[in-house]
Chains A and B, each alone.
Chain A
Amino acid sequence: QLQLQESGPGLVKPSETLSLTCTVSGGSISSSSYYWGWIRQPPGKGLEWIGSIYYSGSTYYNPSLKSRVTISVDTSKNQFSLKLSSVTAADTAVYYCATELVRWFDPWGQGTLVTVSS
């Protein structure tokens, strides 16, 4: 049974780069069956897909965030990562990593709150 866990700083300064890692357990990130995704949720608001990656490194991103997002994968560590550059207060959110199966996300990590503030 796949389990995902996000990790990274909970506080990032404006204009800096947000960096998070998702560690996958209970299965291989190199499985051909899955993509791996990042989704975020500002406090009290809805869900926004950020982007996804395949174990080969193939990525696709939300067009509204594409210029600031980089998602990478480290198969040796069974991890994938998110970098979001030039952050502002609007990027304050709970960030989730999730397994992308065909056209939906399941399971999800527990989420990690990242606050953008000086």
Chain B
Amino acid sequence: EIVLTQSPATLSLSPGERATLSCRASQSVSSYLAWYQQKPGQAPRLLIYDASNRATGIPARFSGSGSGTDFTLTISSLEPEDFAVYYCQQRSNWSYTFGQGTKLEIK
């Protein structure tokens, strides 16, 4: 099983700042990594698929990068609605795993 490790566990920033979230895989997942945003009481929402492709309707301030084992989700300028928990997810060998999440909180 491929393990995804997200860092940091919690990120405290202010609106307008740049957020950088990391996801590291225990072995290469090529570019097959997705990112989700989850707000309290809501289902996760797809942000990024295949490492760098924004899902439909996702603002341009969200971007993804990386390949192999190291991936980054960047939010260029935080809006108040961006404070949430973010998960990465991979698929390999007919199995999915998720990272443990990064909580982005208001400083």
Segment with Cβ contacts to A, from B10-18, B44-52, B65-73, B74-82: B44-52
CB-CB nearest in chain A for B85: A46
Size of chain B's interface in residues, with CB distance under 8 A? 24
Q: How far is the CB of B32 from chain A (nearest CB, A)?
A: 5
Q: In the complex, A77 Cα to B87 Cα: how many Å?
A: 32
Asked if A103 and B98 make an inter-chain contact with CB atoms under 8 angstroms apart, the answer reads: no
Chain B facing A: main interface SS: strand
Asked if B91 and A62 make an inter-chain contact with CB atoms under 8 angstroms apart, the answer reads: no
Instruction: Report B1-38 residues with CB < 8 Å from chain A CB.
Output: 1, 32, 34, 36
Chain A facing B: main interface SS: strand
Residues from chain A with a CB closer than 8 A to the CB of B45 are 106, 108
Residues from chain B with a CB closer than 8 A to the CB of A106 are 45-46, 49, 55
Interface range for A: 20 to 34
Is residue A60 contacting chain B, with contact meaning CB distance below 8 A? yes
Residues from chain B with a CB closer than 8 A to the CB of A98 are 43
Is residue A89 contacting chain B, with contact meaning CB distance below 8 A? no
